[in-house]
Amino acid sequence: MKIIVAILFSIFLISCKKETIKPQNSVPEIASLEKGETLFQENNCVACHQPNNKVVGPSIEQMATIYKKENASLVSFLKAEAEPIVDLTQYETMKINLEITKVMTDEELKSLEIYIQSFAK
Ligand code: HEC
């Protein structure tokens, strides 16, 4: 009898454990500066955008400062839903990259925004 109780109790414990794991897995991803930095590097944005110097594209600092001043949405731009406001003459070069960013999740785009905005002056 003791053994049966022990087995039932273990089953009870195991099923409790499953219950506590489930909600953890369904917690939505949270955007963060670290994720934004990783995405910025992995998607090669950094090849054209350096933190403080203009290379092919404007510096991250310049983009962030302009977006902050204009109170504009980087997420909308990266979703290809808003017009460029930094360097209209070079937009064609950037436009190709929107193919990469416009299919990103909201969480990824928000992370990129947090990362870029962290350079704002
Ligand atoms: C081949 C070079 C190149 C790559 C790679 C590149 N960009 Fe750009 N980007 C540019 C140029 C040039 C501009 C300036 C034109 C403009 O302002 O739209 C620009 C502009 C921008 C702007 C400002 C847009 C505005 O409002 O004018 C943002 C934000 C931006 N890039 C983000 C990114 C992100 C994020 C990535 C990576 C997914 C990326 N860029 C990859 C060249 C590049």
Query: Where do the structural domains in the chain lie, given as residue ranges?
Result: 30-117
Give the pLDDT of the chain (121 residues) as one tens digit per residue: 677 667 666 656 556 555 555 555 556 689 999 999 999 999 999 999 999 999 999 999 999 999 999 999 999 999 999 999 999 999 999 999 999 999 999 999 999 999 999 999 9
Which residue has the least CA distance to atom 32 on ligand 1? Answer: 45
Whether pTM exceeds 0.85: no
Class of domain 30-117: mainly alpha
**94 CA from centroid of ligand 1 (Å):** 4
For the record, the structure tokens of 99 come out as 């193919």
Hey, CA dihedral for 51, 53, 57, 62, is it positive or negative?
positive
Hey, CA dihedral for 55, 60, 62, 67, is it positive or negative?
positive
**29 CA from centroid of ligand 1 (Å):** 25
